[in-house]
Chain A
Amino acid sequence: MLLLIPLLPLVGFLINASFGRRLSKGASGTVACAVMLMSFAVSVAAVARLVGLPPEGRAIEQMAFNWITSGDFSVGLTLRLDPLSAVMILVVTGIGSLIHVYSTAYMHEETDPEYARYFSYLNLFAAFMLILVLGSSFLVMFVGWEGVGLCSYLLIGFWYEKKSAADAGKKAFIVNRIGDWGFILGVLLIFARFGTLDFQDVARAVSQLSPDQTFGTLSIITLMLFIGATGKSAQIPLFVWLPDAMEGPTPVSALIHAATMVTAGVYMIGRNAVLFGHAPLTLNIVAVIGTATALIAGTIGLVQNDIKKVLAYSTVSQLGYMFLAMGVGAYAAGIFHLYTHAFFKALLFLGSGAVIHALAGEQDMRRMGGLRKALPLTYWTFVIGAVAIAGIPPFAGFYSKDEILFKSFSSGHTWLWAVGLLTALLTACYMFRLVFMTFHGPSHTVSHTEAGHEPQDAHGGHAHLHDAPLPMAIALVVLAIGSIAAGWVSWGGRFEKFLEPSFGAALVHEPAAEGNLETTLMIVSVVVALVGIGLAAYYFLKNRAAANKLAETFSGVHRVLEHKYYVDEIYDAGVVQPIQIVSEEGLWKGVDVGVIDRTVNGVGQAIGGTSEVLRLFQTGSVRAYAASIFLGVVAVLGYYFWR
């Protein structure tokens, strides 16, 4: 049964990839959505069976075939469903299905083959993502890990005729490779240290060891794995690819770059909670990096003007939150935030997609405004998403974010808590800035023919404003309901209890519930979120001039933020340019032309020169040949005769 879950999208991929050119849009869209919905149904059935098992033995395993056998080492292509992967497959197939449905309308202006290509990539992505979360060993996970990276590359560069899209795809792929390098080193180290790659076996072996107090093997392993996570989940220092990834179609940003793939790093740490729990040093690094990323991405998000870029930085920031949770040992809280974030961030992305769709490709918020009346459904669902991410009860984001902040405070990371709180303020602020700039105030929308600028999204189409068509509306409404209600599953610590078997001994058991403290912190974070919304309302709704004045007063800060802390420029100067110079001047002109080419040409010339001389021996005269054979035979015989 488990096998069906990734297999169904794979079948959809094969159909659309093989026959997509000949299928109509309706047919290829239906196939893609149908396989996802079936996969979702199977997932629900599988999770229902899982929940029916007693809590200690909650795992369903299925081995497809024995993949690698070498000596006493063997890896099967095994899928394992436990509470953690149950949450993940429900998110991937559930939200994935909605986004597939949404895409049928969003991508409708593509030609038939392009449309089928889009859906084949999307299905392939879902298949790999499901392999990633269901894999029972590092190796199977790695297959999914690389597969989603590939699909991310293909989908970011979906409009490959646009240079910026093709470049963004390459950037995502290359930055991810750096992370994957760390990941595979970590996996190899695990194999060298424990002789197995199965998650359960590794966890069992690790729990026999005492935690790494100094920087030992476990710390190195976890640090390497974390490098992989920073690449996939866009954390410092490898977060630069995610904002550029917004070149892809908006549903792709929602599915891959908000809800699922980018959370793979968080999932991976959760999956190896025992391992990371034995490396407190790495956990501290994870927490600090996560918090720093949350803050930095949040501040950048505050000044961006591209609607999708704001959401992208918001995603980076929220992923930082999840890593903060992982780093302070609140694995369940991190996974919980992953789960709620999947709802509201997918909703926000799809909402922004509906706006972009309505404005025929416009992404600059300065050219939006006043869309509230024209797009009521989009507006209201978007506001729900924004309230959810800001952390206002009883919306989903409140529960998970508050949980993370509480856990980081109660585990003694007061500084991280403070920064996290500041980020919560920023989150509320930039998100409502987006809402106000897009949906409120005077309209700045311009007809594209008059303005004469190219649409940002290669997605052209109707010039008239129109609210989301039916498939998009369905996805928006369902996700909005999810953004309201998804957090409620945590009431009474049920979510945490459900996940407990997956984290096992790694869970940090903090002292019995400090009711007062929790309530106080909860009120603090709600107040902070409200202040953030208030600030946004003042500066971007009531008094736009004040915002501009503020930007002028702190023009230095504003410029730095607008240029995203010059990180791209620094990487360009510090990494890309040196590599290019070394490659061009050193490796190409020096090593390749100077050494390799010269060696090859030299060998060729030497042989040519020798042959010039040797060919004189070939006279064509048969008798001369016979004479040399004869003399040779005489010489050899003579040698043996007189020796």
Chain B
Amino acid sequence: MPTLNDYLVLSAILFAIGTAGVFVRRNLITILLSIEIMLNAVNLSFVAFGRSFGTADGQIIVFFVMTVAAAEAAVGLAIVISLFRHRESLNPDTFTSLKW
């Protein structure tokens, strides 16, 4: 039977992978996917805590996070599409005009 600790370690690893993906990858869609991984890493720790403490709180919060994540993905992808139409590129480093 895996313990709470095992789940938390797995969650941390997933989160680190997601973070690394956000920084390393040069494709906006991949970055969005990495953010999803980070979110789900957090979801995993919520669920693990909820089970460990014997309450439903963790699972409830996870539903909220999933809902928000779905919305975020929809908005994010829409932005990506309009960015692509604008610059013919998905590399985030080409979008640096928001400065003074």
Residues of A within 8 A of B (CB): 615, 618-623, 626-627, 630
Contacts and interface: CB of A to CB of B under 8 A. Distances in A.
Question: Which range holds the interface residue count of chain B?
Answer: 10 to 19
20 contacts: A615-B99, A618-B99, A618-B100, A619-B96, A619-B99, A620-B98, A620-B99, A621-B92, A621-B93, A621-B96, A622-B92, A622-B95, A623-B22, A623-B23, A623-B92, A626-B22, A626-B23, A627-B23, A630-B19, A630-B23
A253 B92 CA distance: 83
Nearest to A621: B96
Interface of B: 19, 22-23, 92-93, 95-100
A313 B23 CA distance: 92
A367 B37 CA distance: 106
Contacts of A622: 92, 95
Contacts of B95: 620, 622
A641 to B, nearest CB: 13
A621 B19 CA distance: 16
A269 B99 CA distance: 73
Given A623-B23, A627-B23, A615 B100 contact: yes
A584 to B, nearest CB: 42
B51 to A, nearest CB: 25
B82 to A, nearest CB: 15
A626 B98 CA distance: 14
B48 to A, nearest CB: 19
A620 B19 contact: no
B20 to A, nearest CB: 10
A626 to B, nearest CB: 6
8 A-B pairs with the lowest CB-CB distances in the bound complex, closest first: A620-B96, A620-B99, A618-B99, A620-B98, A621-B96, A623-B92, A622-B92, A615-B100
Nearest to B94: A621
Contacts of B100: 615, 618
Nearest to B98: A620
Contacts of A619: 96, 99
- Most A CB atoms within 10 A — which of B95, B97, B99? B99
SS of A interface (majority): helix
Given A618-B100, A623-B22, A623-B92, 12 more contacts: A615-B100, A618-B99, A619-B96, A620-B95, A620-B99, A621-B92, A621-B96, A622-B92, A622-B95, A623-B23, A623-B93, A626-B23
Contacts of B19: 630
A47 B19 CA distance: 94
A627 B19 CA distance: 9
Nearest to B96: A620
B95 to A, nearest CB: 7
A609 to B, nearest CB: 15
B92 A620 contact: no
A618 B98 CA distance: 9
A621 B23 CA distance: 11
Contacts of B92: 621-623
A626 B38 CA distance: 14
A637 to B, nearest CB: 12
Nearest to A626: B22
Contacts of B96: 619-621
A515 B64 CA distance: 110
A632 to B, nearest CB: 13
- Most A CB atoms within 10 A — which of B95, B96, B97, B100? B96
Contacts of B22: 623, 626
Contacts of B97: 620
B90 to A, nearest CB: 13
A623 B94 CA distance: 11
Contacts of B93: 621, 623
A627 B92 CA distance: 13
Contacts of B98: 620
Nearest to A616: B99
A242 B99 CA distance: 67
A457 B66 CA distance: 89
B62 to A, nearest CB: 22
Contacts of A630: 19, 23
A135 B19 CA distance: 80
Nearest to B24: A623
A623 B34 CA distance: 13
B47 to A, nearest CB: 22
A427 B92 CA distance: 98
A622 B99 CA distance: 11
A579 B66 CA distance: 76
A622 B94 CA distance: 10
- Most B CB atoms within 10 A — which of A618, A621, A623, A627? A623
Contacts of A618: 99-100
A379 B19 CA distance: 107
Contacts of A621: 92-93, 96
A627 B23 CA distance: 7
A630 B100 CA distance: 23
A633 to B, nearest CB: 10
A619 B100 CA distance: 8
A627 B20 CA distance: 10
- Most B CB atoms within 10 A — which of A620, A627, A630? A620
Contacts of A620: 95-99
A619 B19 CA distance: 21
Nearest to B25: A623
A615 B98 CA distance: 12
B70 to A, nearest CB: 22
A615 B100 CA distance: 7
